[in-house]
């Protein structure tokens, strides 16, 4: 380990120096204001699932970062450093320890933030700390891998452009078959469209059903939309690894493409962190004011139903459903009412989960935790409170508007053997679509065309 | 098999060492992935395709590749691997857990 | 009244107050020098709120125990918080009343009120000391400053309780101790966590503006 003249490792020195550049007044307020009242303790799913272990307490975790602030940036902390628990990082091992806390013991879900009487926003400076570590190359391997894919290939799963296009063409064929309309399209790079629809690479790489479902909804609504050939990944690991540069680059790619295509509105598929990154944080990271509108596909789908552009039949979705609010959607973007309204329109038996909306518990896979294999056992153990919350609803299916939550919940449902299914609103809306008349109509047109061709 | 479980698996599911994979391991993984009735020829076709792709590119294939190159429909793929491409086919083929929102 | 007591209750307090104000001034100036993070994102949410409304709600949360799960589920903790802080107000008030408006203490009602508040706050202080030491979660997050501040404050409440009648016929000890302690506080507080109230308006306003713009504050929920 190379060290600086003061005996501190270069990396540790860099983390300390960079902290001064990354601190904002909001963060300084959060770092200075904590009174260690302990009110946040019970708000954290890690605490609730690991009784007796105070190292999971939000204030305890926050203090691992706060001590650096007090020692190096808060002059009152310099008067009696030990008295206010000011401290430093000296070695690379110290940084590894910090990594295990900021990445491994917190999903940045912000539940403690809304439960802090002083208004301390731990999640925000926890993300800042992640960024400091990431800057000196210290982060979970999986996070590093995904960030690299986003930098280099432009999407978090390294999906090649040809695979993306081929998948859309494939789904277009499926759409044509299902709707019995050879003219049905999933347009790519169509300029001047009302809607530019961006998705999570997972939908291309692993399970394209949601692409088809969305296409069906757009088709039935007669929407003027397109999917972009570049900048189509609305997810953003910059939110997770705390790297504003990555965040700005990934979101910037999406914005640039929308502008290039002269799209009127950006519609973001159901993904909590993607929505937050692309809709809310992206302009801050990219330092760019966005001229076009953007919204969650949940809002788009709800509008289609309310405006009568699509018809749905809720009897097509039998069974009981509950709704899980994604942290990023609910606690950071206020997207809580529209998904409920939409869900109530497409299923008959919707039962609320408690606590809900902005007070909901994290799916326990948030903040990039799904990509951190090393913390997986602890993550699943810490999902106990979420498992209890899910099973208390007595429902068969949990609906969520977040791909990451789908996977986080699927993992814990398997681990705790809850026997529940996880689905998203796009699947339920597509399934509830009233399509028979349209197909009948297409069939008539098609047979008329065929007989006209035969007559010639 | 059981005694290797700890060091070769990321917790209870994906294999952590691609080279540890054998036909027996695949059978065990198949049982963990809700595949009842054992692995058939159709399963093996997908499994070998996925393994081959991983050896070449160090990542699993996109679902469109699997479907097109193995000549099956998406529905057939889901019937073969009820847990889906990743938690089903990738897992039985001995791939490590992929990174990202998965 | 002895010279010492007069000095303690007047000059010493004034010096300490000036010191406190100076440190606070420097502190706020230092705080405001940090760059404010700019929010560029267009508003999210149902359109029924905005940064201003969010900020008002956020600052007002102090008086809305139902608006936060952590206080909603622990009403006793909230009641303690209120009494403890009213005790602080009473004890501070007393330190001004005795030197500058002792006539007010002829009202037995006011004396009783101050004694009620400081007495109750003192009991709560003792409870809080015990909780901070015995509860493993509280112990883990506590610094020496947290313990010291709490012990000091609890002791100060006790002296304020005894000093409230402003009666030196049976000796000046209590009054001296109360004013010395008050002076010490004024000097110590800017460096300790007790100065949290200085940040409260800032942190809560910033968070409220942020959550207001995003449609999160005021919180919506369906109660169980």
Can you give the pLDDT at residue B3? 32
State the nearest Cα–Cα gap between C100 and chain A, in angstroms: 32
Inter-chain CB proximity A156 and B10 less than 8 Å:
no
Q: Is A41 on the interface with C (CB under 8 A)?
A: yes
Residues from chain C that touch A292, judged by Cβ atoms under 8 A, are none
State the nearest Cα–Cα gap between A158 and chain C, in angstroms: 28
Nearest CB partner across the interface for A207, out of B84, B98, B99: B84
Residues from chain B that touch A273, judged by Cβ atoms under 8 A, are 101
Q: Residues 396 to 455 of A: which have CB under 8 A from any B CB?
A: 403-404, 407, 410, 415
Can you give the pLDDT at residue B61? 96
Residues from chain C that touch A120, judged by Cβ atoms under 8 A, are 203
CATH (domain of B23): 1.10.10.370
| Residue B98 forms part of a structural domain | no
Inter-chain CB proximity A358 and C221 less than 8 Å:
yes
**Alpha carbon distance B7, C39 (integer Å):** 47
Q: CA-CA-CA-CA torsion for A73, A74, A76, A80, nearest 10 degrees?
A: -60
Residues of B serving a catalytic function are 101
Using 50 as the pLDDT threshold, list the residues of chain C that sit under it.
none
Nearest CA in chain A to B75: A209
| Residue B100 forms part of a structural domain | no
Inter-chain CB proximity B63 and A207 less than 8 Å:
yes
Residues from chain C that touch A118, judged by Cβ atoms under 8 A, are 196, 199-200, 203-204
Number of domains observed in the structure of chain B: 1
Residues from chain C that touch A33, judged by Cβ atoms under 8 A, are 196, 199-200, 203
Q: Is A60 on the interface with C (CB under 8 A)?
A: yes
Query: Treating both helix axes as pointing N-terminal to C-terminal, what angle do A122-135 and A10-22 enclose, rounded to 10 degrees?
Result: 140
State the nearest Cα–Cα gap between C196 and chain A, in angstroms: 5
Residues from chain A that touch C20, judged by Cβ atoms under 8 A, are none
Q: Is A258 on the interface with C (CB under 8 A)?
A: no
State the nearest Cα–Cα gap between A379 and chain C, in angstroms: 20
State the nearest Cα–Cα gap between A37 and chain C, in angstroms: 8
CATH 2.40.50.180 describes domain A10-139 = no
Domain ranges of chain A: 10-139, 151-432
Nearest CA in chain C to A29: C203
Inter-chain CB proximity A157 and B98 less than 8 Å:
yes
The pair of structure tokens assigned to C119 is 């007495």
Judged by DSSP in three states, A397 sits in strand
Nearest CA in chain C to A358: C219
| Residue B12 forms part of a structural domain | yes
Q: Residues 350 to 379 of A: which have CB under 8 A from any C CB?
A: 352, 354-359
Asked if A270 and A424 count as a contact pair (C-beta separation under 8 A), the reply is: yes
Can you give the pLDDT at residue A337? 97
Q: What is the interface pTM, i.e. ipTM, of the complex? A: 0.96
Nearest CB partner across the interface for A163, out of B64, B85, B86: B64
Asked if C66 and C72 count as a contact pair (C-beta separation under 8 A), the reply is: yes
Inter-chain CB proximity A333 and C216 less than 8 Å:
yes
Using 70 as the pLDDT threshold, list the residues of chain A that sit under it.
1-2
Nearest CA in chain A to B77: A207
Can you give the pLDDT at residue B7? 38
Query: Do C and B count as touching (3 or more CB pairs closer than 8 A)?
Result: no
DSSP A129-192: HHHHHHHTT-S-HHHHHHHHHHHHTSSTT---HHHHHHHHHHHHHHHHHHHT-TT----BS-TT
Using 70 as the pLDDT threshold, list the residues of chain B that sit under it.
1-12, 101-102
Asked if A407 and A372 count as a contact pair (C-beta separation under 8 A), the reply is: no
Nearest CA in chain A to B61: A205
Inter-chain CB proximity C219 and A39 less than 8 Å:
no
Residues in chain A, total: 456
Q: Is A325 on the interface with C (CB under 8 A)?
A: no
Question: Touching A: which chains, 3+ CB pairs < 8 A?
Answer: B, C
Residues from chain B that touch A156, judged by Cβ atoms under 8 A, are 100-101
Instruction: Pick from A21, A26, A79, A291 the residue to mutate for testing the C interface (most C CBs within 10 Å).
Output: A26
Q: Is A267 on the interface with B (CB under 8 A)?
A: no
Looking at CATH, the fold of the domain delimited by C46-209 is given as Fumarate Reductase Cytochrome B subunit (1.20.950)
Domain ranges of chain C: 46-209
Residues in chain C, total: 224
Asked if A212 and A171 count as a contact pair (C-beta separation under 8 A), the reply is: yes
């Amino acid at each position: 380990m190379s060290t600086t003249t003061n005996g501190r490792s270069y990396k540790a020195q860099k983390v300390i120096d960079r902290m001064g550049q990354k601190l904002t007044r909001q963060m300084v307020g959060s770092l200075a204001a904590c009174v260690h009242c302990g009110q946040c303790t019970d708000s954290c799913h890690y605490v609730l699932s690991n009784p007796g272990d105070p190292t999971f307490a939000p204030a305890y975790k926050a203090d691992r970062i706060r001590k650096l602030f007090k020692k190096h940036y808060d002059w009152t902390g310099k008067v009696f450093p030990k008295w206010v628990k000011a401290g430093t990082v000296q070695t690379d091992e110290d940084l590894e320890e910090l990594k295990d806390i900021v990445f491994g013991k917190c999903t940045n879900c912000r539940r403690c933030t809304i439960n802090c009487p002083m208004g301390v926003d731990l999640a925000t400076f926890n993300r800042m700390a992640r960024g400091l570590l990431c800057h000196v190359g210290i982060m979970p391997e999986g996070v590093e891998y995904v960030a690299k894919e986003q930098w280099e290939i432009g999407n978090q799963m390294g999906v090649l452009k040809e695979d993306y296009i081929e998948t859309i063409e494939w789904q277009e064929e499926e759409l044509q078959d299902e709707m019995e309309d050879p003219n049905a399209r999933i347009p790519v790079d169509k300029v001047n469209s009302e809607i530019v629809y961006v998705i999570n690479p997972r939908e291309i790489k692993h399970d394209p059903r949601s692409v088809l479902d969305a296409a069906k909804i757009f088709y039935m609504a007669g929407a003027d939309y397109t999917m972009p050939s570049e900048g189509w990944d609305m997810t953003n690991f910059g939110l997770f690894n705390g790297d504003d540069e990555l965040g700005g680059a990934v979101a910037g790619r999406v914005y640039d493409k929308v502008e290039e295509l002269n799209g009127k509105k950006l519609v973001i598929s159901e993904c909590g962190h993607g929505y937050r990154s692309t809709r809310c944080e992206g302009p801050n990271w990219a330092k760019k004011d966005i001229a076009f509108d953007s919204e969650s596909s949940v809002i788009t789908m709800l509008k289609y139903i309310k405006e009568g552009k699509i018809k749905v039949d809720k009897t097509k979705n039998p069974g009981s459903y509950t709704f899980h609010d994604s942290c990023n959607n609910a606690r950071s973007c206020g997207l809580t009412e529209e998904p409920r309204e939409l869900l109530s329109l497409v299923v008959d038996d919707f039962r609320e989960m408690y606590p809900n909306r902005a007070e909901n518990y994290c799916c326990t896979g948030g903040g990039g935790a799904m990509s951190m294999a090393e913390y997986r056992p602890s993550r699943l153990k810490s999902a106990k409170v979420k498992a209890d919350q899910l099973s208390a609803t007595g429902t068969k299916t949990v609906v969520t508007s977040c791909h990451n939550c789908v996977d986080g919940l699927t993992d814990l449902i398997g681990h705790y053997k809850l026997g529940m299914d996880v689905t998203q609103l796009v699947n339920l809306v597509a399934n509830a679509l009233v399509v028979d008349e349209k197909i009948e109509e297409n069939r008539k047109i098609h047979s008329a065309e065929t007989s006209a061709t035969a007559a010639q | 098999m059981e005694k290797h479980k700890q060091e070769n698996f990321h917790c209870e599911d994906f294999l952590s060492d691609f080279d540890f994979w054998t036909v027996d391991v695949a059978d065990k993984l198949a049982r963990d992935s809700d595949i009842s009735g054992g692995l058939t020829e159709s399963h093996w076709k997908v499994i070998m395709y996925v393994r081959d792709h991983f050896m070449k590119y160090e990542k699993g294939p996109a679902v469109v590749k699997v479907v097109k190159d193995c000549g099956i429909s998406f529905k057939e793929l889901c019937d073969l691997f009820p847990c889906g491409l990743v938690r089903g086919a990738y897992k039985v083929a001995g791939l490590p857990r992929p990174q990202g929102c998965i | 009244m002895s010279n010492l007591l007069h000095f303690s209750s007047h000059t010493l307090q004034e010096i300490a107050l000036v010191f406190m104000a100076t440190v606070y001034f420097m502190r706020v100036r230092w705080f405001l020098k940090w760059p404010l993070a700019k929010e560029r994102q267009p508003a999210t949410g149902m359109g029924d709120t905005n940064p201003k409304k969010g900020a008002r709600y956020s600052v007002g949360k102090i008086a809305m125990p139902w608006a936060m799960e952590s206080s909603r589920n622990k009403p006793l903790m909230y009641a303690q918080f209120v009494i403890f802080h009213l005790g602080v107000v009473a004890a501070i008030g007393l330190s001004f009343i005795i030197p500058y408006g002792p006539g007010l203490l002829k009202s037995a009602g006011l004396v009783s009120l101050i004694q009620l508040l400081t007495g109750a706050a003192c009991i709560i202080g003792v409870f809080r000391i015990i909780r901070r030491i015995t509860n493993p979660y509280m112990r883990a997050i506590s610094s020496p400053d947290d313990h010291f501040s709490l012990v000091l404050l609890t002791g100060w409440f006790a002296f304020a309780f005894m000093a409230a009648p402003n009666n030196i016929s049976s000796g000046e000890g209590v009054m001296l101790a109360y004013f010395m302690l008050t002076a010490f506080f004024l000097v110590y507080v800017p460096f300790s966590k007790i100065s949290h109230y200085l940040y409260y308006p800032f942190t809560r306003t910033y968070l409220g503006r942020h959550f207001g713009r995003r449609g999160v504050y005021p919180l919506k929920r369906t109660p169980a």
